[in-house]
Amino acid sequence: MKVNKSVKLKLLFDPQGFKLPYGGVARYFTEMIYHADVDENIDIIFPVLYSENYHLIEKKLSPKNLLVIINEKQFQLKYYLLKIIYKVQELYTIYKIKQNNFDVFIPTYYGPFFIKHLKKPFVLTVYDMIHEKFPAYFPVNDITVGQKLLTMHAASKIIAISESTKNDILELYPDIPSQKIEIVYLASSIEKGTVSIKLPKKYLLFVGNRGYYKNFPRFFNAIIPILKKDENLVLFCAGGGAFTHEEIQTFEENGLKSQVIQYKFKDSELYEIYKNAIAFIFPSEYEGFGIPVLEAMSSECPAILSNVSSLPEIGGDAAIYFDPYDEMDIKNKVESVIMDEELRKNMKEKGLQQSRLFTWEKTFKQFIEVVASAKIQ
């Protein structure tokens, strides 16, 4: 699918994907908006009135931060203020839609508030089908599935962020035409920086959320013998929030509390955290893409991954894979990487090559091709 480079586009993005401070969705659309903003053939309308999203602020695409929490008593006030602000943003987006002064609408999440007001085509990005495939991990009143289905059917084009995600859409909803779905891979934004803490001399790395389908409890159980065998080895958990009471109890019961660390990192620290690790382990039961895989590989960190969903697609032959439901397989694969320095060296070299296949420039080019094709339908 090729589009004439001289084609002019005017795009209206909505702000609903920028309510949280961080996240893969916001990172992706921040990069798309940033690249569109500097492209002379593309005009953008981005009706964000207020956002605390770090990615937008980093790229100077966000208004100034107006709300500041001075103490805990103000948290509730801020919560209600934000609800009001986001509702106003939604109404402002509807106002921009009704002006009809754009070519294609780009929703940044699944909220269907715009559909009844829209007369132009829109392109929806589907990140994963985790809510549909693992409903037990979500509240019974979760509205994501219904909203996603409604917007997928109404969309002119659908972007799936991996072949795995596209296959999942078609498996779950065979009435959605395959030709309506285009695959556009994401990329990593990790950059070299410094770390403000003293890192352990020898550590395995787990990055991000540890709950639900991220499979942390099973992974930890699998590596207990490895940690007990080497008291100098540490499990370093970057991000994901402080350890829960249940997690701490598990560490204590196994005599490993001193060998497990949780650290709230800054983006500028992440490269060094990856680079100094023996290996990065991603035991997730499901990923629509898996940006941390590329972060690890571009930081020359060996990646040991689940053999499910999109992860083999993104990691290619640069990673070692295990069955995320088999603790012995997890243990054996992790141990094999720890024990083999030559294997780690080879994985670092292959990983660096693999990570270079994914860039935001390539993502943006393919994204715009899909959007332009929606305009001319």
Dihedral over Cα of 209, 264, 241, 258: its sign: positive
- 145's enclosing H/E stretch is helix 144-154
Give which of 253, 302, 252, 255 is closest to 276, Cα–Cα: 302
69: pLDDT strictly greater than 50:
no
Q: How far apart are CA 212 and CA 336, in angstroms?
A: 27
Three-state DSSP class for 49? coil
Q: Which residues contact 239 (CB under 8 A, 6 or more apart)?
A: 207, 208, 209, 263, 264, 265
Other beta carbons within 10 angstroms of residue 173's beta carbon come to 14
**Domains defined along the chain, listed by start:** 9-187+359-375 (3.40.50.2000), 203-355 (3.40.50.2000)
168: pLDDT strictly greater than 80:
yes
Q: What is the pTM of this model?
A: 0.91
Lowest average pLDDT, out of 66-70, 129-133, 247-251, goes to: 66-70
What would the pLDDT profile of 89-145 be if each residue is shown by its tens digit? Answer: 999 999 999 999 999 999 999 999 999 999 999 999 999 999 999 999 999 899 999
Q: What is the pLDDT of residue 60?
A: 83
Q: Are 329 and 223 in contact (CB under 8 A)?
A: no
Average pLDDT over residues 33-43: 94
Give which of 60, 68, 64 is closest to 50, Cα–Cα: 64
Q: Which residues contact 56 (CB under 8 A, 6 or more apart)?
A: 18, 26, 30, 48, 62
Q: What is the pLDDT of residue 259?
A: 98
37: pLDDT strictly greater than 50:
yes
